[in-house]
Amino acid sequence: MKNKQLKTKPSSAAPYSKAHEKYLKRLRNDKIFVLSFQILILVLIIGLWELLAATNVIDPFFVSSPSRVFNMFISMVENGTIWRHIGITLLETLVGFAIATLGGTLIAILLWWNKRLRRILEPYIVVLNSLPKIALGPIIILWVGSGMSAIITMCVLICIVLTTISMLNAFNSCDADKIQLMKSMHANKFQIFWKLILPNATSEFISVLKINVGMSWVGTIMGEYLSSSAGLGYLIVYGSQIFNINLVMTSTVLLCILAALMYLAICLIEKWHSR
């Protein structure tokens, strides 16, 4: 019997009453209220920033202003340079994010599969996790060379240990009775992993994705600070070296927008998963 052929019982919910409509309206109003305040805060920050800069209360040479940031962005769009920098940083972040998430999960699977290996490697993982990865910067450049490979390596190093630890915890937190249930139904180790351990860890995996979004941007920008000739991190360093605060601020704002979009994409995946 194919599952698609099976039908669900129609919802037994009562038709909307006035009280229910009132409740829904209250929920809607609450949502609008929160969203309005979120937008208001942003408008206030931008407005205040522009006003203080325009009236020279704060020096635009050091803090720039929204209009200058906007003009800088437009000029970079017009000469086409911005797309190259955004593209490179985005590529480095996405590649680093993907390698770290998949690699960290695969290592976690390996360590779940082999308890002895986990016990052997545990102290090394703990040390790697507590190590400030920026300290490895010079070694990374020596080993993998400068440029994109070094940046991606930095990004991977920052995310991979955390991914491994989080996913391993998620795998190990599976209810022992559920594993016994699978064993009582004669499931082999692969089936236990594939049909129980892995799907059971999906929520944790989404949390890891959310954390990795932030961490991969940190890793990429850190890597670009160390060694790069293009990218938003490079623009920030270059802008600060030539005292072009408008360039620094424009790149930073773009970073905020890109990180938020990536986080939003993960939230959409989460929403789709929880349906």
Among 6, 14, 19, 242, binds another protein (CB under 8 A): 6
- Residue 16 tokens, joined: 């909307």
**Shortest distance, position 162 Cβ to another protein, whole Å:** 24
* 1 near another protein (CB under 8 A): yes
Q: Which of 38, 169, 173, 202 binds another protein (CB under 8 A)?
A: 202
Q: Which is nearer to another protein, 56 or 274 (CB)?
A: 274
Q: Please tell me whether residue 8 binds another protein under the rule CB under 8 A.
A: yes
- Candidates 140-148, 185-193, 219-227, 245-253 — which segment interacts with another protein by CB under 8 A? 185-193
If one asks whether residue 9 binds another protein (CB under 8 A), the answer comes out as yes
Total site size for another protein, rule CB under 8 A: 23
Stretch that binds another protein, among 41-49, 98-106, 172-180, 213-221 (CB under 8 A): 172-180
Interface pick for another protein out of 57, 177, 241, 272 (rule CB under 8 A): 177
What would the two tokens of residue 13 be?
Answer: 């919910």
- Can you spell out the DSSP letters for 100-145? HHHHHHHHHHHHHH-HHHHHHHHHHHHHHHHS-GGGGHHHHHHHH-
Straight-line distance from the first to the last Cα atom of the chain, in angstroms, rounded to the nearest whole number: 24
Of 33 and 194, which CB lies nearer to another protein in the complex structure? 194
Does 175 participate in binding another protein (rule CB under 8 A)?
Answer: yes
Binding of another protein by 115 (CB under 8 A): no
Distance CA 266, CA 252 (A): 21
7 makes contact with another protein (CB under 8 A): yes
Closer residue to another protein in complex, CB, 75/202: 202
Among 13, 135, 185, 242, binds another protein (CB under 8 A): 185
Report helix angle 81-113 to 202-226, nearest 10.
130
* Single residue of 75, 199, 243, 265 touching another protein by CB under 8 A: 199
Helix, strand or coil, per DSSP, at residue 7: coil
| Helix 148-172 vs helix 81-113: crossing angle, to nearest 10 | 40
Name the region of 175 (left: φ>0; alpha: ψ -120 to 50; beta: rest): beta
Q: Report the residue number, 158 or 174, with the smaller CB distance to another protein.
A: 174
Check the CA dihedral 248-251-257-258 and report its sign.
Answer: negative
Give DSSP secondary structure letters for 226-259: HS-SSSHHHHHHHHHHTT-HHHHHHHHHHHHHHH
Find the binder of another protein among 57, 184, 241, 242 (CB under 8 A).
184
Q: How far is CA 150 from the centre of its chain?
A: 20
DSSP string, 31-66: HHHHHHHHHHHHHHHHHHHHHHHHTTSS-HHHH--H
Interface with another protein includes 3 (CB under 8 A)?
Answer: yes
**Choice between 78 and 177, CB closer to another protein:** 177
**Which residue ranges make up the site for another protein (CB under 8 A)?**
1, 3, 6-9, 175, 177-178, 180-187, 191, 195-196, 199-200, 202
